[in-house]
Structure 1
Amino acid sequence: MLNFRIDEDRCIQCGECAADCPAMCISLDNGLPEIHEKRCIRCQHCLAVCPTAALSILDKDPDDSRPLHKDSLPAPEKMETLLMGRRSVRRYKPDPVPKETIRHLLQITGHAPTGMNVRQTLYTVVDDPEVMNEVRAATLRRVKEVIEDPGLPKGLEIVGKYVAAGDKMGVDIFYRGAPHLLIVSSPHNGPSPDADCLIALSQFELLAATMGLGTVWDGLAKWAIARIAPDLRERLGIPEDHTIGYAMAFGYPAVTYYRTTQHDAPAINVVGS
């Protein structure tokens, strides 16, 4: 049930909820909104766009939502600095991130958009450094076993070189010593499983940076878990019918970056006059 309700004392009959509904399932009856439940995708656009907080859906109280106005959003210059200054961190302190902080990060990241608002994204997180050490050891052991027999999958032969280099230098090549790991997955049959996962991790990364945390997009971990030794995904509880979008190691950084980098201008294809 959608539990779509209108506070008639607050409703000014502006029609914004109907005009902005992506599923076009809201109509106006004598000026008041009505909803066609079967077409609703539960995006809550109607709740967000109502200027007087007159509309409730899914038992959500609009007064519990955070107000959106200029003062509640980051200044463009600060957002630019965050985007330009983010780094892939490969050196971490052993200190664990409080579990409450991790839960809060994931709760906010859960607002990331998904295709058709299916919201089937699964956040698999290792929040205990001791468990992370078990995952670390199991990953290295299993990948080495596969290297010996039957051999790495075609196209991933380079992983063997990374493993050898990591052994030689005493470096955790798969997780870079991070105390935590986040893997985002989504059902194969969803409208956009890969994109949904990458969008979520992008938002997690930026929010984590504002809390003083470092992150690294962990392609080696994704290869290990999704393609080289898929039994690891069972150990992590990732469903077989899920696409693993990507993995991200994170924690408190043991390195400080003092300035943004200066990349060349991107390739831009302008379509128009």
Structure 2
Amino acid sequence: MLEFKVDREKCNHCGKCVADCIPRVIAMEQGYPAMAAEKEPYCYRCQHCFTICPTGAVSILGRRAEDSRLLEGNLPDPEQVETLIKGRRSVRQYLDQNLEPQLLQRLLEVAWHAPTGVNSRQVRFTVIDDKQKLAGFRAEVMAGLGRLVRENALPEAYAFFADFVRMWEEDGIDVLFRGAPHLVVASVPQTVASPMPDCIIALSYFELFAQSNGVGTVWDGLARIAINDLVPESRVRLGIPEDHLVGCAMAFGRPAVSYKRTVQHTPALIHRPL
């Protein structure tokens, strides 16, 4: 049930919710926004109508305007956002400590607001939220890779993983997870409109919000390959559904290194054909 409701005492008849409705399922009836029952299945559940209402008169999906945060006066200035983006670093040195559970949950909840194709909202975060659990999982993955090395069963394209196994077994160097206390894997049903972009966008949001909270991250393509392609039993161990595409993985935690300034890359590659 959509529970589309309009508080007539608050509604100012501006029609903004009608004009901004993407599937055009809201219409003005007797001066007030309304949604016919037969049109409800076509609603995207994007909440545009809810967020654009200037007086907080619109409610949908049981959401109440007073439970949302107002945007005006609460957004960071452009310079702050620019500094956050330019100051982002891939962290490969972590403190040996867990994040606070409340912070970890908040990072995931905020990242889940990332846009998805056709507003499918089916990105699934598989999270290892304890350093001891990740240590155990890492041992299992490295053991599986070690078996492949000793059986000469590594695919040629991933032969370089043998070096990671050697570094781990001989020197205790963790190239796959970088000694991070936590790991998040983003996956999506392969049937959605844009599975890979949905995963990448979600973890991009996760990464930036994590940095704003003093949490370091690193895009972990090596872990994704190991889990999804080389040691598939580890994917089962994580409980990732069979019908899901594993889009990307990210290791994260409190950084053991502190960066002091933004980078200075070369000018952007921009092409204007007309």
Q: Verify same fold: TM over 0.5.
A: yes
**1:169 CA drift (Å):** 4.6
1:168 and 1:267 map into 2 onto residues whose CA distance is: 43
Query: Residue type matched to 1:221 in 2?
Result: A
2:212 and 2:22 map into 1 onto residues whose CA distance is: 32
Tell me if the contact between 1:85 and 1:259 (Cα under 8 Å) persists in the aligned partners: yes
Q: Match for residue 100 of structure 2? A: 98
Query: Residue type matched to 1:28 in 2?
Result: M
Superposed, which structure 2 residues align to 1:119-268 within 5 Å? 119-149=121-151, 151-268=153-270
2:223 and 2:40 map into 1 onto residues whose CA distance is: 42
Superposed, which structure 2 residues align to 1:61-140 within 5 Å? 61-69=64-72, 71-140=73-142
Q: Which 4+ residue blocks in structure 1 deviate beyond 6 angstroms?
A: none
| TM-superposition CA deviations, 1:165-214 (whole Å, max 9, x none) | 45455311110100000111000111111011101100000111111110
**Secondary structure in 2 matching 1:249:** strand
Q: Match for residue 47 of structure 1? A: 50
2:156 and 2:173 map into 1 onto residues whose CA distance is: 25
2:151 and 2:193 map into 1 onto residues whose CA distance is: 36
TM-score, normalising length: structure 1: 0.95
Q: How many equivalent pairs are there?
A: 271
**Secondary structure in 2 matching 1:72:** coil
Structure 1's unaligned 5+ residue stretches are none
Q: Identical aligned pairs, as a percentage?
A: 45
2:128 and 2:139 map into 1 onto residues whose CA distance is: 14
Structure 2's unaligned 5+ residue stretches are none
Tell me if the contact between 2:128 and 2:184 (Cα under 8 Å) persists in the aligned partners: yes
Alpha-carbon RMSD: 1.3
**Larger CA deviation: 147-156 vs 204-213:** 147-156
TM-score, normalising length: structure 2: 0.95
| TM-superposition CA deviations, 1:49-70 (whole Å, max 9, x none) | 011100000011111110011x
2:150 and 2:15 map into 1 onto residues whose CA distance is: 66
